[in-house]
Amino acid sequence: MTTDTASTRRDFLKGGALLAAPLAAVAAPAVILAEDELKVRLARLENVAAIRELHQSWLRRINTRTDDPAGTAAAAARMFADAKRAAFDEGVRSIAADHAGEPDAIEIAADGKSAAGRFPCAVEIDTAIAQDCTLAQMAYQQGGGFVRRTERRVLKVEYVKASGAWAIAKIEFA
Amino acid sequence: MPGTPYPKEQMHRIAYTKLSEQQIASKLSKVSGPTSASPLADAFAGKSIRIVTDNGPALAYTFSRNNRLSVAENGGGAVEAGYGALTLGSVAFVSHMIPGTQRGYAVVIDQGTNLATVFELWFSGYQDNREVQREIYYGYVEQPGQEAPKGRHVTTNRVEGKGFYWKQDNGAETLEFYPSAAYSNFVELSRFGGELGFCAPSDYIKINDDFYIYTRTECEFSGTFTAYVMDLNRVEQIGVRLGFDADDALEYYVFRGKGEWLGQLAQFEKFGDEKGSPVPAGPVPAAGAPAAAPAAPAKGARRVYRPLRTMAKMSKAEVDAACAKRTSAFAPRGISPGANAPAASMAGNLGPNTGWLAGKSLTLRYDTAPAMEYRFDDAETLHWRKEGDSEWVKARYQAFESMPGVILFGHLLEGAPNHDGHSIVADFHQGLVTCFNGYLNTPYFANEAGVKIHFGVIEMEGLIPPKYNRHYFTDEMIGRAVSQNYAPGLTSMHLYTTPHSLSWIIFTDSDAGGLEWSGPASYVKIRDGLYFMYWLEEACNGTLGTILVNLHTMRDVGIGYNCGENGLNMNALGAHERLAGRFDVMRFYQVKTSGGVA
């Protein structure tokens, strides 16, 4: 008789616990150092997560062309440090992550008050056709009248943290 | 004298009465239900049914006879009304009004599946009260003790590209083409003599692979609504017509018809795309406004092309002033400062212009117009004068060699009282010339172009023209459909519907046929596979479009002539083409011998 065996996630966790055991036995200063590092690391991860969430909200706004139920001004005020900089290229119809590009990069400044993001993306851009003839006017009437192209671009974003929340300071294509 | 089949005015020229709500109510009050030339069906007589729709009304019907029913909407009180019903196979078509209102219904029930499509119809829902409005609801006939069916009739593009001849039981004959998934084109053979085709927003709904529902509303015209179920195999129809004719008489009847299949045009959507309603229903955003999420459409909303409402309507004095202010011929490409500016957007696929005429002198001797003498200074400058005149007039022109020896060129005639422009095809191998002579100050709107057609010969050194041979009008293009890609994002299709009209269909982003309109047209054969044609955008921007279609290279080159508030423009255009098929229609345009003059 033969029995099939297979490693399981439980086995993997057991191995991890065994490997972790010696670490628990290190001296106290090292523990304090590790706790500080963990705090810093946690803060960084929280900042990165908050910025990612902000970026997703901005993408949703661009892709769905919808705003906060409270209105465009409220959405701009919520996402941008200066609401006057909330406008973005009206020709951009959609932005999607470019999984064939470099990984997203979010760098938090040492003081934790600003950050920079670089997001490779595939951008659909509409260029309006001049409505200088019946054909173009009819195309516009039915929701067309533009030329659409897709380009691989990099979104370059500057963030600032104020009152504990991240906001977009500047967003543009690199 | 015997009568002719032609109306006093064609549909786009009829000044339909702006009927008031009260006038419409009064006319409706005198009618109990639709009339019918065929016996009404008694499929529902003595029965009660309840139709449930998604996001729409629930309609409880009791049919006492084959022409009387009571209906309760959404559980409300029942009202009695006259109705008409016809059946085609398992499909029934029922129509009635709600007495005392300007509302009614057209209901399609597939008695095999119990699925139903309900059209709520009403007058006085648009600024032109006579235009019938419609909202479509999909649902089913409730079956006691049974679950609601999950399927529904659905909008579809599966009818796109089809065309039929229909003869209704009341004698009305039409050619109806469905080259778009949102619009249709109809030629009224018996009502209007079949000279021109017209277009209307339409719905296409699939019942099953054989049966489809079609509607059209004659917006910009009488506002009449027509809906029918058609069996594509048997080529039979049952339906309803509701509206007010040119004399403001109410037309409300159900009909049965038989027809002939005329052919099938190509579809350009991706394989697998069978979606209907390709044009969004919501309002058109204001030009230049930031793009926004589509708003929820209002009840009955749909995009309707209303060119007469939006075109500039100018007097002769306004035309003269606009032309004096700005006249432009063949502006450099890439310059497009706004509406009614040189139509640079249609020149994206324009081929290079030729300098073959540069340095040459010639006379175009027309049979029915003064001969024109030319001196071509270079590839874009010429001097012209009418034979007998002493002064030469300088003009900017461009010329395009569509086929070896055949040149299209055009120029404006500065100083002509009607601001004429000539679009000319000259065949230097045959010594023949055809001129589409555009002009303004036409009877309906002074800025609307008219056209005269001149046939003739070329006289120049070394060329002996024919004595009798001429280019000639042709019906070889009639029934054909040819798509044109003028530039990225600008693709249309011409459907050459009658010997005297064509329609143009604008493709959507998914390459479905979308909005469609039509105008008077004419077709001249230059050579085998080479046709010179024009269309007039009458009651629609007023443009005269002329194109030389080369079926060998599948390219067209053309010249547009337009006057608007920004002045007079002549511009070149060019497209890559594809043949999209052909309808067998010429037999319907033959004048048949019958009787004598009384």
Q: Can you tell me the mean pLDDT for B234-249?
A: 98
A102-121 residues touching B, CB cutoff 8 A: none
Tens digit of pLDDT for each residue in A106-135?
Answer: 999 999 999 999 999 999 999 889 888 999
Candidate CATH numbers 3.40.47.10, 2.40.50.140, 2.40.128.20, 2.40.10.10; the one for domain B21-152: 2.40.128.20
- Residue A108: give the domain boundaries: 9-173
User: First CA to last CA across chain B, in angstroms?
Assistant: 5
CA of A131, closest CA in chain B: separation in Å? 6
pLDDT at residue B168, as a whole number: 98
> Structural domain boundaries of chain B?
21-152, 155-264, 316-582
Is some CB atom of chain B closer than 8 A to the CB atom of A56?
no
Work out the pLDDT band at B31, boundaries 50, 70, 90: very high
Work out the pLDDT band at B333, boundaries 50, 70, 90: low
Tens digit of pLDDT for each residue in B63-75?
Answer: 999 999 999 999 9
Nearest to B9 by CA among B283, B285, B204, B193: B193
Helices (H), chain A: 9-20, 28-64, 72-79, 134-141
Cβ-proximal residues to B164 (8 Å cutoff; 6+ apart), any chain: B175, B176, B230, B235, B259, B260, B261, B262
When CB atoms are compared, the residue of A64, A137, A148 closest to B293 is: A64
Is some CB atom of chain B closer than 8 A to the CB atom of A146?
yes
Q: Do B508 and A144 touch (CB under 8 A)?
A: yes
When CB atoms are compared, the residue of A65, A126, A142 closest to B514 is: A142
Helices (H), B278-359: 307-310, 316-325
Residues of B with CB under 8 A from a CB of A: 182, 278-280, 284, 287, 290-293, 303, 305, 307, 336, 338-346, 486-490, 492, 504, 506, 508-509, 514-515, 517, 537, 540-541, 543, 560
Is some CB atom of chain B closer than 8 A to the CB atom of A143?
yes
Alpha-carbon gap, residue B525 to B124, rounded angstroms:
47
Mean pLDDT (chain A) is 82
What ipTM does the predicted assembly reach?
Answer: 0.93
Q: Is the pLDDT of residue A78 over 70?
A: yes
Q: Do B488 and A147 touch (CB under 8 A)?
A: yes
When CB atoms are compared, the residue of A65, A66, A138 closest to B515 is: A138
Helix (H) or strand (E) holding B27: helix B21-29
B582 close to B563: Cβ distance less than 8 angstroms? no
Alpha-carbon gap, residue A129 to A127, rounded angstroms:
6
Mean pLDDT (chain B) is 95
Is some CB atom of chain B closer than 8 A to the CB atom of A65?
yes
pLDDT at residue A11, as a whole number: 44
Q: Do A142 and B290 touch (CB under 8 A)?
A: no
Alpha-carbon gap, residue A141 to B273, rounded angstroms:
22
pLDDT at residue A160, as a whole number: 97
Alpha-carbon gap, residue B548 to A5, rounded angstroms:
78
User: B346 to chain A: which residues are within 8 Å by CB?
Assistant: 133, 135-136
Please report how many Cα atoms fall inside a 13 Å half-sphere around the Cα of residue B593, on the Cβ side: 0
Same fold, B21-152 and B155-264: yes
Tens digit of pLDDT for each residue in B391-400?
Answer: 999 999 999 9
Q: Is the pLDDT of residue A74 over 50?
A: yes
Interface probe with B: pick from A72, A135, A147, A149, most Cβ of B within 10 Å:
A135
Alpha-carbon gap, residue B480 to B554, rounded angstroms:
13
Give the residue on A whose Cα is nearest the Cα of B343. A132
Q: Is the pLDDT of residue A18 over 70?
A: no
* pTM metric for this prediction: 0.90
Q: Can you tell me the mean pLDDT for B196-225?
A: 98
Residue A83 sits in a domain of what CATH number?
3.10.450.50
Q: Do A142 and B537 touch (CB under 8 A)?
A: no
When CB atoms are compared, the residue of A131, A135, A143 closest to B339 is: A131
Percent of chain B with pLDDT over 90: 91
A86 in a structural domain: yes
Helices (H), B44-197: 189-192
Q: Is the pLDDT of residue B325 over 50?
A: yes
Gyration radius of chain A's alpha carbons: 24
Work out the pLDDT band at B375, boundaries 50, 70, 90: very high
A4 in a structural domain: no
A84 in a structural domain: yes
User: A138 to chain B: which residues are within 8 Å by CB?
Assistant: 305, 506, 514-515, 517
User: First CA to last CA across chain A, in angstroms?
Assistant: 64
A159 in a structural domain: yes
Tell me the three state secondary structure of residue B276. coil
- What pairing do the DSSP bridges indicate for beta strands B91-97 and B103-110? antiparallel
A114 in a structural domain: yes
User: A136 to chain B: which residues are within 8 Å by CB?
Assistant: 343, 345-346, 490
pLDDT at residue B595, as a whole number: 65
Alpha-carbon gap, residue B580 to A43, rounded angstroms:
63
Q: Is the pLDDT of residue B192 over 60?
A: yes
Query: Of the given ranges (A77-86, B10-19, B297-306), which has the lowest mean pLDDT?
Result: A77-86
Q: Is the pLDDT of residue B1 over 80?
A: no
pLDDT at residue A150, as a whole number: 94
Cβ-proximal residues to A54 (8 Å cutoff; 6+ apart), any chain: A79, A159, A166, A167, A168
Nearest to B426 by CA among B453, B398, B405, B412: B405
Alpha-carbon gap, residue B552 to B554, rounded angstroms:
6
CA of A91, closest CA in chain B: separation in Å? 8
Alpha-carbon gap, residue A128 to B345, rounded angstroms:
11
Inter-chain CB pairs, A–B, below 8 Å: 96
When CB atoms are compared, the residue of A90, A132, A148 closest to B339 is: A132
- The tokens 């001296």 sit on which residue? A27
DSSP-assigned letters across all residues of B373-424: EEEE-SSSEEEEEETT----EEEE-EEEEEETTEEEEEEE-TT-TT--EEEE
User: B486 to chain A: which residues are within 8 Å by CB?
Assistant: 135
Tens digit of pLDDT for each residue in B461-482?
Answer: 999 999 999 999 999 999 999 9
When CB atoms are compared, the residue of B293, B490, B508 closest to A129 is: B490
* Phi and psi at residue B78, to the nearest 5°: -80, 140
When CB atoms are compared, the residue of A138, A141, A144 closest to B489 is: A144
Tens digit of pLDDT for each residue in B339-361?
Answer: 444 457 898 899 999 999 999 99
Cβ-proximal residues to A160 (8 Å cutoff; 6+ apart), any chain: A81, A113, A114, A115, A166, A167, A169
A118 close to A154: Cβ distance less than 8 angstroms? yes
Tell me the three state secondary structure of residue A15. helix
pLDDT at residue B524, as a whole number: 98
Query: Of the given ranges (A94-103, B100-109, B550-559), which has the lowest mean pLDDT?
Result: A94-103
Relative orientation angle of helices A72-79 and A28-64, to the nearest 10 degrees: 150
Tokens (6 digits) for B154 = 């659905």
Q: What percent of chain B is helix, strand and coil (3-state, nearest 5)?
A: 5, 45, 45
Total number of residues shown for chain A:
174
Is some CB atom of chain B closer than 8 A to the CB atom of A38?
no
Q: Is the pLDDT of residue B81 over 70?
A: yes
CA of B470, closest CA in chain A: separation in Å? 33
Alpha-carbon gap, residue B518 to B539, rounded angstroms:
10
CA distances from B348 to A129, B334, B514, B571 (A): 11, 9, 21, 12
User: A132 to chain B: which residues are within 8 Å by CB?
Assistant: 336, 338-345
Number of domain units in chain A? 1
Interface probe with A: pick from B328, B335, B490, most Cβ of A within 10 Å:
B490
Tens digit of pLDDT for each residue in B486-523?
Answer: 999 899 999 999 999 999 999 999 999 999 999 999 99
CATH code of the domain made up of B155-264:
2.40.128.20
User: A133 to chain B: which residues are within 8 Å by CB?
Assistant: 343, 345-346, 543, 560
B156 close to B269: Cβ distance less than 8 angstroms? no
Alpha-carbon gap, residue B286 to B14, rounded angstroms:
29
Q: Can you tell me the mean pLDDT for B229-237?
A: 98
pLDDT at residue B290, as a whole number: 53
pLDDT at residue A86, as a whole number: 84
pLDDT at residue B121, as a whole number: 98
Q: Do B339 and A144 touch (CB under 8 A)?
A: no
Is some CB atom of chain B closer than 8 A to the CB atom of A73?
no
Q: Do A141 and B284 touch (CB under 8 A)?
A: yes
pLDDT at residue A88, as a whole number: 85
At CB < 8 A and 24+ separation, what contacts does B556-559 make? B556/B482, B556/B484, B557/B350, B557/B351, B557/B400, B557/B402, B557/B408, B558/B408, B558/B423, B559/B408, B559/B410, B559/B423
